Amino acid sequence: MAEIDDIRNMNDQDLEENLDSMRKDLMNLRFRTATMQLTDTNEVKRTQRKIARIMTVIREREISESSL
């Protein structure tokens, strides 16, 4: 639960940078999975969940700004 709190404490620019970084990591993990070089296959799922958490926080902020 501490991870989502850490994400919510980031500013918008940090969220966008982190999202781009996670997407690049996910692409790299997919390549490594396809070439049988990835030993921990759960890392793909964890990275997808991190991306989803970041996108959720971004969307929450968009909704809260539009309701003002």
pLDDT in tens, the chain (68 residues): 568 999 999 999 999 999 999 999 999 999 999 999 999 999 999 999 999 999 999 999 999 999 87
Cβ atoms within 10 Å of 21's Cβ, excluding its own: 13
The domain limits of the chain are: 2-66
We find that the CATH architecture of domain 2-66 is Orthogonal Bundle (1.10)
C-alpha span between 12 and 9 (Å, rounded) = 10
Residues 14 and 61: beta-carbon distance below 8 Å: no
pTM of the model: 0.90
